[in-house]
């Protein structure tokens, strides 16, 4: 009994999603909701991954193309494309992904460190790996995905 | 209700009291005062002291007490207000205001001026201090003198009690005293002195009591009679050891009947309602949404197939009208006179004068001008900086000033006024004016402008606002602090305002802040740039123009002008500037905007739609600042439109065109 | 017996709040007024079991309040307590001569205030 309890305590929940054909997952606590794609308003001088801003019940939130952000090229238009609304450090943004699949629970020991963290093409956004059945899910660090604070702001 | 709530009340109240105190002092300073002015200051300081004591803010109490003593002497005409006394009480009010601020963080903290000002106050408080020494101030409960009794035994007492008429008149009742002695009391009433009915004066006291008390100490019994001491003859007789007998006390002569009320009460002051600012914010936001909602409905009806129903249209007009009315009313809730802000600034100027050794007179105009409370709060920092600058850099050094015709004392003026839907705030000094030669040199030296640049006076003046520009040769302690006017500009821009300079050599400089009446909404013209819908604030727009084709002239491929009533206005095509398209729609339509330095530009856009009121939504919370864009709004169809910042766009265009020729040269 | 009703007159919002808090905790019903004029006006609106007044107030000071209350015969038996930072004997004597029932010096402690009120209202 005691064992079960302690195992439960170290369980983390993630939402698995697909971007650029690859499997990723995001800590469920950072996710506010999942919405279908709606046209966005373009922002001047933004990095290519920032698609624009969207009206989320009166709030203006930026939408980031996750695939582009990870250096995998722009997400092609697709019927299953959805926007995952996430909030980290008091900032809210939407991530455009190809699909959202499921909620998974894993114990913290099942999250392996990312051995390729030094590889340039995929920098610090991936903070861990989860082996799920026959595939590998990359654990995303959302904080690193926020649009960079613009220098011009200061 | 917790102690924290009480403290919050206290600090909120202190803010008002400090304001009242400062107000009174400024009246004295301008020689426009009477005895009530001093009374009001006294009361403010007194109230701060009274409540501060309850929280154990000893430093605050000590200071307020000394200050109050001096004010009391002034009030009683024992001390005349001369220049020296005025200076001391003004400094004291500054210290007191600072102490209040400090107490919110650490009540033991004192400002640097605490001790010197306290001792100056003490010098003037002399003969004024009579009864209360500061030691008394912390006596937990100082009732009428009451000896502390150690180890007292319970005894049988008889108290002979004969109240005077004053006893009754002061709200005392024999029964209440008996009741407070507990149950073990036996009371006998002596009615022998009641006269015949004809001679009976109902206001006189004829009864006497003999009270036998059991199981109480003398102190306990005395406590029951604590407040009637002097209003009655009280005699204690201890039964067992009648050694100590209280000498009988003389019955106090009844006081003469109260004189008719002399002081005519003044009419009650304006009733105020205290509201949690968050509630007002919510109301303002909701009203903003209501206005958007009206726009949505209007748009939906306009887009409908049916021919517009005149009744619906007029009802919709009413809706818009009502929504605007509500909005105005709601906005006025949050409107506040700038007075408190100006009073704080008086302190800033005084301190700046002291720090720089310059004699400064501070004048304010339009203190009653009302603006949104949130704007007032956000103006404090930039204004502080501007006023310090005005004293530090604006006014001449004393020896330099002595060589001019001007009075030795420099003047710094802070004014506020409403002007066509805006608030205009000006900081003016009568100093030497901007040294344009030096500013230009410095800008060149810092690489902010090319060395061969030919700039107009106003262009030079505006260099002050460029990031990284600082005029002082040595960064002074006062206005240096590593921030320049660019920070002022950024903070003003962030609240939707603009700041500009005008300066005249040897006459002085004026910094003008133009602010919207509120932060939450603005009037703008909806346009499209490339495919994107955007909004230009009406405040910046001079006019919109759909030109004849021969009014648009090409000077160079990247340099077009628009002919407007005989003069040529440079065209800024917005789409390429914002990176939204390469082809420049140079044919217009155009929006003529005035830049901060009064030069005019024509923004080439794709389409100009209607003018409407929009609710401002910040982009910075979730995204960050974007060059040329001040914020966003949500349009009737739910789409987001960006709000353009014309001044920033003009600067952006200037930077682009400045960089282009250089690129050519390098290539 | 219904809760005794006390009128607290003080121009300091903080003090009003403190007094109300202390007395409500002790089972008194409290009404407040912001200055002497308001206080005297409020006094006329209902029957109070006691009045607590500050001395230094705008429009009409505490002495004026005592005088105004005592000027009506029917009010003579209402206890009027003075709660002030003033502790001078001169002030105290003046208040008493005008008809003050008791005198408390700020800062007050809650028990002291409540005990005194109970004493002068005879509500134990």
Question: Is the pLDDT confidence value at C75 over 70?
Answer: yes
C-alpha gyration radius of chain C: 13
Which tokens sit at A100?
């959202």
Q: Are residues B308 and B325 in the same domain?
A: yes
The predicted pLDDT at position B240 comes to 53
Q: Are residues B397 and B509 in the same domain?
A: yes
Residues B170 and B247 sit within 8 Å (Cβ to Cβ): no
pLDDT in tens, B246-292: 444 444 444 444 444 444 444 444 456 777 777 777 787 778 778 77
Residue B154: CB atoms within 10 A of its CB come to: 12
Mean pLDDT for B210-235 is 77
Contact at CB, A53 and B289, closer than 8 angstroms: no
Q: Are residues B84 and B216 in the same domain?
A: no
SS (H, E, C) B372-407: EHHHHHHHHHHHHHHHHHHHHHHCCCHHHHHCCCCC
The predicted pLDDT at position B410 comes to 92
Q: How confident is the model at residue B128 (pLDDT cuts 50, 70, 90)?
A: very low
pLDDT in tens, C36-47: 888 888 888 888
Return the domain boundaries, chain C: 5-121
What are the distances in angstroms from CA B12 to CA A50, A80, B5? 44, 55, 10
Q: Are residues B14 and B95 in the same domain?
A: yes
User: CA A128 to CA B440: how far, in whole Å?
Assistant: 55
pLDDT in tens, B132-157: 444 443 333 333 333 333 345 666 77
SS3 content of chain B, % helix, strand, coil (to 5): 45, 20, 35
Mean pLDDT for B73-90 is 84
Residue A98 or residue B168, greater confidence: A98
The predicted pLDDT at position A64 comes to 93
Domain span holding position B326: 280-333
Q: Which residues contact A37 (CB under 8 A, 6 or more apart)?
A: A81, A82, A83, A96
Residue B255 or residue A40, greater confidence: A40
Angle formed by the axes of helices B35-54 and B3-29, to 10°? Answer: 160
User: Helix, strand, or coil here: B572?
Assistant: strand
Angle formed by the axes of helices B485-494 and B373-389, to 10°? Answer: 170
Looking at B238, B255, B290, the residue that finishes a domain is B238
Q: Are residues B438 and B581 in the same domain?
A: no
Show the CA angle centred on residue B346, arms to residues B436 and B520, nearest 5°: 80
Q: Are residues B81 and B175 in the same domain?
A: no
Contact at CB, B627 and A54, closer than 8 angstroms: no
Number of domains in chain B: 5
Which tokens sit at B467?
């990031």
B626 secondary structure, DSSP code: B
**Interface present between B and C (3 or more CB pairs within 8 Å):** yes
Q: Are residues B347 and B491 in the same domain?
A: yes
**Which residues partner with B563 through β-bridges?**
B568
Show the CA angle centred on residue A120, arms to residues A114 and A126, nearest 5°: 30
User: CA C32 to CA C9: how far, in whole Å?
Assistant: 6
Which tokens sit at B82?
């001369």
Residues B20 and C76 sit within 8 Å (Cβ to Cβ): no
Mean pLDDT for B437-463 is 82
pLDDT in tens, B357-382: 899 999 999 888 888 877 888 888 88
The predicted pLDDT at position B146 comes to 33
Looking at B485, B516, B547, the residue that finishes a domain is B516
The predicted pLDDT at position B155 comes to 66
- pLDDT cut 70: percent of chain B above it: 83
What's the CATH number of domain C5-121, 3.40.50.2300, 3.40.630.190, 3.30.450.20, 1.10.10.10?
A: 3.40.50.2300
Residue B325 or residue B134, greater confidence: B325
- Rounded to the nearest angstrom, the minimum Cα separation between A88 and chain B is 10
Question: Is the pLDDT confidence value at B645 over 80?
Answer: yes
Looking at B473, B493, B516, the residue that finishes a domain is B516
Taking the CA atoms of B2, B4, B7 and B8 in sequence, report the sign of the dihedral they define: negative
> Phi first, then psi: what are they for B490, rounded to 5°?
-60, -45
The predicted pLDDT at position B647 comes to 84
Residues C95 and C63 sit within 8 Å (Cβ to Cβ): yes
Q: What is the CATH number of the domain that holds B168?
A: 3.30.70
The predicted pLDDT at position B363 comes to 92
Q: How confident is the model at residue B19 (pLDDT cuts 50, 70, 90)?
A: confident
- pLDDT cut 90: percent of chain B above it: 8
pLDDT in tens, A123-145: 567 888 888 777 888 898 888 77
Q: Are residues B510 and B444 in the same domain?
A: yes
Question: Is the pLDDT confidence value at B480 over 60?
Answer: no
CATH class of A12-145: mainly beta
Residue B557 or residue B322, greater confidence: B322
Of A50, A55, A154, the CB nearest to B640: A55
The predicted pLDDT at position B268 comes to 43
Task: Indicate the helix (H) or strand (E) that contains B511.
Answer: strand B508-516
Question: Is the pLDDT confidence value at C8 over 90?
Answer: yes
In a domain, B244, yes or no: no
Question: What DSSP string describes B211-253?
Answer: EEEEEE-HHHHHHHTGGGBTTEEEEEEESS-TT--PPPPPPPP
Mean pLDDT for B41-64 is 85
Counting one residue from A and one from B, how many pairs have CB atoms under 8 Å apart?
77
C-alpha gyration radius of chain B: 36
Residues of chain B with C-beta less than 8 angstroms from the C-beta of A93:
622-623
Of A39, A41, A90, the CB nearest to B642: A41
What are the distances in angstroms from CA B39 to CA B43, B75, B79, B125, B262? 6, 7, 14, 17, 18
Q: Which residues contact A91 (CB under 8 A, 6 or more apart)?
A: A146, B621, B622
Greatest mean pLDDT among A23-32, A111-120, B69-78, B454-463 lies in: A23-32
User: CA C61 to CA C11: how far, in whole Å?
Assistant: 10
User: CA B425 to CA A93: how far, in whole Å?
Assistant: 38
pLDDT in tens, B579-617: 887 665 567 789 998 876 678 899 999 889 888 777 777
The predicted pLDDT at position B428 comes to 94
C-alpha gyration radius of chain A: 16
The chain-wide mean pLDDT, for chain B, equals 77
pLDDT in tens, B530-582: 888 999 988 778 888 888 778 888 887 778 888 888 888 999 989 888 988 76
Q: Are residues B397 and B452 in the same domain?
A: yes
In a domain, B81, yes or no: yes
Question: Is the pLDDT confidence value at B239 over 60?
Answer: yes
Q: Does B487 touch chain A (CB under 8 A)?
A: no
Q: Are residues B327 and B345 in the same domain?
A: no
The predicted pLDDT at position A153 comes to 35
Question: Is the pLDDT confidence value at C76 over 50?
Answer: yes
Q: Are residues B284 and B370 in the same domain?
A: no
Greatest mean pLDDT among A17-31, A136-150, B73-87 lies in: A17-31
Contact at CB, C18 and B170, closer than 8 angstroms: no
Show the CA angle centred on residue B442, arms to residues B428 and B424, nearest 5°: 25
Q: Are residues B98 and B201 in the same domain?
A: no
């Amino acid at each position: 009994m005691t064992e079960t309890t302690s195992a439960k305590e170290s369980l983390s929940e993630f939402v698995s999603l697909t971007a650029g054909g690859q499997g990723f997952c995001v800590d469920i606590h950072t996710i506010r909701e999942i919405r279908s794609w709606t046209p966005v308003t373009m922002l001047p001088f933004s990095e290519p991954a920032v698609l624009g801003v969207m009206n989320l019940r009166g709030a203006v939130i930026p939408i980031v193309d996750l695939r582009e952000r990870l250096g995998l090229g722009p997400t092609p238009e697709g019927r299953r494309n959805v926007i995952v609304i996430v909030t980290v450090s008091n900032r809210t943004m939407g991530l455009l992904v190809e699909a959202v699949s499921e909620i998974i629970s894993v114990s913290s020991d099942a999250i392996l460190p990312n051995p390729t963290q030094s590889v340039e093409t995929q920098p610090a956004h991936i903070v861990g790996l989860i082996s799920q059945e026959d595939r590998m899910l990359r654990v995303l660090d959302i904080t690193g995905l926020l649009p960079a604070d613009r220098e011009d702001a200061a | 209700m917790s102690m924290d709530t009480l403290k919050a009340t206290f600090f909120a109240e202190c803010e008002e009291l400090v304001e009242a105190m400062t107000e009174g002092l400024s009246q004295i300073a301008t020689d426009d005062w009477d005895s009530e002015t001093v009374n009001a200051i006294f009361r403010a300081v007194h109230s701060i002291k009274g409540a501060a004591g309850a929280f154990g803010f000893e430093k605050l109490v000590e200071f307020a007490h000394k200050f109050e003593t001096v004010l009391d002497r002034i009030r009683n005409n024992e001390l005349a207000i001369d220049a020296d006394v005025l200076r001391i009480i003004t400094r004291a009010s500054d210290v007191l205001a600072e102490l209040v601020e400090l107490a919110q963080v650490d009540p033991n903290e004192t400002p640097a001026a605490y001790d010197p000002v306290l001792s100056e106050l003490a010098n003037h408080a002399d003969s004024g201090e009579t009864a209360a020494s500061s030691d008394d101030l912390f006596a937990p409960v100082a009732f009428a003198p009451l000896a502390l009794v150690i180890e007292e035994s319970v005894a049988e007492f008889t108290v002979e009690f004969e109240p005077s008429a004053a006893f009754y008149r002061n709200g005392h009742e024999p029964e209440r005293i008996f009741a407070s002695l507990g149950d073990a009391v036996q009371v006998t009433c002596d009615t022998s002195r009641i006269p015949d009915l004809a001679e009976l004066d109902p206001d006189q006291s004829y009864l006497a009591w003999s009270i036998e008390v059991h199981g109480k100490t003398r102190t306990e019994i005395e406590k029951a009679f604590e407040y009637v001491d002097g209003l009655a003859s009280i005699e204690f007789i201890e039964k067992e050891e009648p050694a100590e007998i209280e000498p009988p006390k003389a019955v106090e002569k009844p006081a003469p009947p109260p004189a008719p009320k002399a002081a005519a009460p003044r009419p009650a002051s304006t009733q105020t309602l205290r509201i949690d600012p968050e509630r007002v914010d919510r109301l303002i936001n909701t009203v903003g949404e209501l206005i958007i909602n009206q726009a949505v409905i209007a748009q939906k009806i306009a887009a409908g197939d049916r021919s517009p129903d005149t009744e619906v249209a007029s009802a919709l007009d009413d809706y818009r009208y009502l929504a605007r009315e509500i909005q105005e009313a709601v906005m006025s809730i949050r409107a506040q006179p700038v007075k408190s802000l100006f009073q704080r600034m008086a302190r800033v100027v005084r301190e700046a004068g002291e720090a720089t050794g310059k004699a400064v007179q501070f004048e304010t105009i339009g203190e009653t001008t009302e603006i949104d409370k949130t704007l007032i709060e956000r103006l404090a920092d930039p204004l502080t900086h501007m006023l310090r600058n005005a004293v530090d850099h604006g006014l001449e050094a004393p020896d330099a000033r002595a060589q001019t015709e001007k009075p030795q004392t420099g003047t710094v003026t802070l004014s506020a006024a409403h002007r066509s839907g805006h608030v205009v705030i000006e900081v003016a000094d009568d100093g030497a004016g901007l040294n344009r030669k030096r500013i230009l040199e410095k800008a060149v030296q810092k690489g902010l402008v090319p060395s061969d640049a030919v700039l107009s006076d106003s262009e030079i003046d505006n260099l002050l606002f460029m990031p990284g520009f600082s005029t002082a040769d040595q960064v002074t302690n006062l206005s240096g602090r590593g921030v320049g006017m660019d920070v002022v500009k950024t903070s003003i821009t962030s609240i939707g305002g603009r700041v500009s300079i005008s300066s005249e050599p040897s006459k002085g400089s004026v910094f003008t802040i133009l602010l919207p009446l509120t932060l939450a909404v603005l009037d703008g013209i909806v346009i499209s740039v490339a495919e994107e819908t955007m909004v230009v604030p009406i405040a910046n727009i001079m006019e919109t123009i759909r030109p004849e084709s021969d009014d648009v002239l090409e000077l160079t491929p990247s340099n077009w002008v628009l002919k407007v009533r005989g003069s040529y206005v440079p065209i800024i095509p917005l789409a390429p500037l914002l990176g939204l398209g390469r082809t420049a729609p140079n044919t217009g339509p155009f929006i003529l905007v005035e830049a901060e330095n009064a030069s005019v530009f024509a923004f080439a856009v794709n389409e100009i739609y209607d003018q409407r009121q929009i609710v401002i939504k910040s982009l910075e919370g979730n995204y960050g600042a974007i060059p040329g864009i001040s914020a966003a709004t949500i349009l009737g169809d739910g789409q987001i439109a960006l709000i353009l910042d014309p001044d920033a766009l003009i600067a952006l265009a200037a930077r682009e065109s400045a960089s282009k020729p250089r690129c050519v040269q390098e290539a | 017996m219904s809760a005794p009703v006390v009128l607290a007159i003080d121009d300091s919002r903080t003090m009003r709040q403190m007094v109300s808090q202390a007395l409500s905790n002790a089972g008194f019903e409290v009404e407040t007024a912001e200055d002497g004029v308001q206080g005297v006006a409020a006094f006329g609106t209902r029957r109070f079991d006691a009045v607590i007044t500050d001395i230094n107030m705008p429009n009409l000071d505490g002495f004026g309040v005592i005088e105004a209350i005592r000027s009506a015969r029917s009010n003579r038996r209402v206890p009027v307590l003075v709660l002030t930072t003033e502790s001078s004997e001169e002030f105290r004597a003046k208040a008493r001569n005008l008809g003050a029932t008791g005198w408390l010096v700020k800062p007050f402690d809650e028990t002291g205030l409540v005990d005194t009120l109970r004493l002068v209202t005879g509500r134990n």
